[in-house]
Amino acid sequence: MKIAIIHTRPTPPWSARQLILALESLGATASYIRPDQILSEFGGLEKSSRVYHGSSPLDVSAVILRDIGFAITLEQFLRRFSAIKHLEILGTPVVNPVESLVLARNKHLSLLLLSSRGIPVPRTAVTEDPYTAYRIAQSWGTIVIKPIVGSMGFGALKLDDPDVAFVVARTLAQLGQPIYVQEYVEKPNRDIRAFVVGDRVVAAYYRVGDRSWKTNIAQGAKAVAIDRCPSEVEELAVRCCKILGLHYGGVDIAETENGYVVLEVNASPGWRGLVAATGINPATHIARYVIELARR
């Protein structure tokens, strides 16, 4: 069985290497390709429909999609999105599906969809008008302004002063960026990352902030194992992935006075912190899941 891992890096990053090792340990043949190397060909008198890796047909049983690139032009994004979608149209299982990957990267739409399905999420407002953001900051108190597409906590700002919020919002507007505002969620100096594969949480851990309100591992937070993940957290995490159409994902959940609140769902999560804290490598679970999916 041949399985391709798609990522934008010139060489496989750590997570992709872990997936390759896991797939090969289970008897599959793994290949690593970049989305810009994929050719989508269709139509004509022959009404052909083929996907190539370079000049060779991309003949695989399944694909693990880790990244299609986001710091690219709209045209590049649409082409790569469509090329991966072409694979899905041909019946090749893609994990995670390209539409679900993009949906999860869009913090606005993903949290809106989760909220519409009854999932507790932070109070959120999205605008392009800095004056609206200013009024929101006056009304809500402490807020967080963050990129609408982003990861690892980069670019997220916690603000108490409406005037500072206005300056940040105006700068974003001048750069042509939307202004994504959330009411700050009071929580212990930690949150929970639940790693879902299929219908279950395979591992979970606390991300404990290190002298910062941010609990991202990339921002210096420490990973601490959870001896027993609460069933409510597991059910919430699995439900979030189902709603967004994800086969696997990392769900970030805050513990608040009013119960659990979902902060974000990551469709291409890293897991170095998880392995360090729990000794569990999700790559094995993902590889096994993808192989079973390809055999159906």
Which of 48, 74, 103 is the endpoint of a domain?
Answer: 103
118: alpha, beta or left? (left if phi > 0; alpha if psi -120 to 50): left
Indicate the pTM of the whole model: 0.91
Is the domain of 199 the same as that of 232? yes
Distance linking the first and last C-alpha atoms of the chain:
13
pLDDT confidence band for 190 (50 / 70 / 90) = confident
User: pLDDT tens digit string along 209-254?
Assistant: 776 666 666 656 788 899 888 999 999 999 999 999 999 999 999 9
Which of 132, 154, 183 is the endpoint of a domain?
Answer: 183
- Min mean pLDDT across 87-91, 210-214, 254-258 is at 210-214
Backbone angles phi, psi at 173, to 5 degrees: -60, -40
Average per-residue pLDDT for the chain:
92
**Neighbouring residues of 67: CB distance < 8 A, sequence distance ≥ 6:** 6, 7, 8, 9, 35, 268
Is the domain of 157 the same as that of 251? no
Is the domain of 220 the same as that of 272? yes
* Order of all β-strands in the sheet with 38-43: 38-43, 48-53, 56-57
Please report, rounded to a whole number, the percentage of residues in the chain having pLDDT higher than 70.
Answer: 95
Which of 183, 208, 223 is the endpoint of a domain?
Answer: 183
CA distance 61 to 2: 6
Residue of 85, 64, 120 lying closest to 251 (CA atoms): 120
pLDDT confidence band for 5 (50 / 70 / 90) = very high
Supply the range of the domain harboring residue 66.
2-103
Q: Is 238 helix (H, G, I), strand (E, B) or coil?
A: helix
**Neighbouring residues of 32: CB distance < 8 A, sequence distance ≥ 6:** 4, 5, 7, 12, 16, 20
- State the total domains in the chain: 3
| Percentages of the chain per state (helix, strand, coil), in multiples of 5 | 40, 30, 35
pLDDT at 242: 98
Measure the CA angle with vertex 99, ends 95 and 105; round to 5°.
Answer: 95
pLDDT at 212: 66
pLDDT at 150: 66
CATH number of the domain within which 209 lies: 3.30.470.20
